[in-house]
Structure 1
């Protein structure tokens, strides 16, 4: 059987965003292995017959010795499994597994899920990382991009090796995130679904929440996600004062989305393509987000949501007010338009088919 090795940085990531690709491969009688830090989500794939390799990847680690250890670990996994093709996702698997695959002459397909902050800031770190990328992808078969801006960055920095393919992000499972009836309550509910951190636009969201709630008392502002330490006290105070409602980490976000009128994602983080926006739009919820690449592609201004300037609370407040002035049927129509757009342009089956095509192409070139 043809062996495919998938290397990623988190078990939840694999289950929520790569499950359909793995299911398709197993269905087509490929032998599949997954290398990832262990989590109970991986049991699902092991029960399907996939082989699981636990890795010691630390997503935020910067210790050079630990990074070299991870690189060697990937090499040992590759030697043990002997894959015919390797799929990697996110920066560390792309770099370290890419190096090991190139060394062994094994076809590999990498996925650029966002550039990451170091590549967006001028300086020695960016220059060094570009050199590392050039080495890691020197023999890459295909580079999958999630937005045009990332693709242009690779082109402009002479990083475009192998074949390039533009994906609609990670896509969204439009059956799982099916349309949710639009809420009829007089209370207008907005939700922020993300890690509570500066670059995800939490400060702009909190500023808008306090301002809008003062002027429109029939509004609620909800937050779902892990809170970084610097915002814990602020979230507690605003929750106590009634400006926001904090839900913590939510396993099934559909249970929250069903009561929401609009999702707000004021991110200026280097996104690949925002899964929060895709899932919300697929559920029939209007979206408000920034003009950031990875966010703006999902919005048609006024049709399924609104685009605001990055790090601009006033612009966000103004777009929320525009939304609040709409009638029920208009808001519902925006949600329905978003659902239609996602089904046509961002359905995960589109991503699965493109991956399957590239895997087949890699194998045929061997």
Structure 2
């Protein structure tokens, strides 16, 4: 049996889906990854995956241009002959589903998050909703990463409730992410892990840092994640360079393993405007780190206010600074309690095993 996984980057597959891929391989499924080629493609091949390149621009929304994806994916699916196709992210979900329907291949979709098009009600969001409504008539199963997104799709008639289900994001490897056991020394350290785009609340984080520094708060403020200036909502390189040169924030660049940076932080911050289930918060909670994040879908699923972190208002630098200052002021026992509570929460609700078991059960029902 051949299972195809279609995503917008090979990086995304390698960093978020390898647990599922290994589980499929252990069940003697052949796994074919269909994604744009990048520096992680060779790692997928080394992990035993077959690979097919697809040209897919994840940065913008051009419906006319993207329609060509349907024909490209039809060609690839004919060549690969998958028994089931697993789609992730907006464009594979929409155009990949249409290609799979064309060839009568069962499709399983995963709405990882609504993306930037749903943050504003405009022409683009209306077109995206229409495309979802058309394409989501055809998948055999649609997984959502939080109840808010699921209810929104059902309420707006974008998907039938009978094929909808909830997954705890991509899950978390509880053995890989756990408390380091090392007592941290030095200044209190805040860490934000994200691609540098506006919708992750990067500007709010920078403004909150400026507020806290003006008040004399003795802390370190770090930012870890790739620059993406070509993205429609990306932050320009010159702006990031100004933050660095002015010592506003410590920019840590990118990494293949975030554990060292999480373990060296006292608090992980994510002021995102909306999420599916944010991976960085799962990694932080699993690593017993307190969290400050926004009171929005996805983020508030992972963080319970005053239990394993603090929730702030969205797009509000002042309230973010207030919550960061509150976290800074807590004593070590309170911070440790938040960390332990976060670990308990992800153990009970977000284990990667939950995700893998649901996928295996769904695939077996389709191929049988």
TM-score, normalised via structure 1 length: 0.93
Displacement of 1:140: 1.3
Residue 323, structure 1, aligned to residue 327, structure 2? yes
Displacement of 1:246: 1.2
Is the 1:183–1:261 contact (alpha carbons within 8 Å) kept by the matching residues of 2?
A: no
Q: Which residue in the other structure is 2:168 paired with?
A: 168
C-alpha RMSD of matched pairs (Å): 1.9
Q: Which residue in the other structure is 1:336 paired with?
A: 340
Q: Which residue in the other structure is 2:316 paired with?
A: 312
Q: Which residue in the other structure is 2:251 paired with?
A: 246
Displacement of 1:118: 2.1
Mapping for residues 1-366 of structure 1, pairs under 5 Å: 2-64=1-63, 66-161=65-160, 163-181=163-181, 183-227=183-227, 229=229, 230-268=235-273, 270-364=274-368
Displacement of 1:26: 0.8
d(CA) in 1 for partners of 2:18 and 2:171? 12
Residues 269-313 of structure 1 show CA distances to partners (whole Å, capped at 9, x for unaligned) of: x42111111111111111100011011101121121000010111
Displacement of 1:5: 1.1
Is the 2:223–2:250 contact (alpha carbons within 8 Å) kept by the matching residues of 1?
A: yes
Is the 2:116–2:199 contact (alpha carbons within 8 Å) kept by the matching residues of 1?
A: no
Extract unaligned runs of 5+ from structure 1: none
Is the 1:95–1:133 contact (alpha carbons within 8 Å) kept by the matching residues of 2?
A: yes
State the secondary structure of the residue aligned to 1:165.
strand
Displacement of 1:236: 3.3
Q: How many residues align?
A: 362
State the secondary structure of the residue aligned to 1:20.
helix
d(CA) in 2 for partners of 1:51 and 1:6? 10
Displacement of 1:348: 1.0
Is the 2:179–2:263 contact (alpha carbons within 8 Å) kept by the matching residues of 1?
A: no
Is the 1:273–1:294 contact (alpha carbons within 8 Å) kept by the matching residues of 2?
A: yes
Residues 228-274 of structure 1 show CA distances to partners (whole Å, capped at 9, x for unaligned) of: 55554444344334332111122321121121100111111x42111
TM-score, normalised via structure 2 length: 0.92
Is the 2:184–2:264 contact (alpha carbons within 8 Å) kept by the matching residues of 1?
A: no
State the secondary structure of the residue aligned to 1:29.
coil
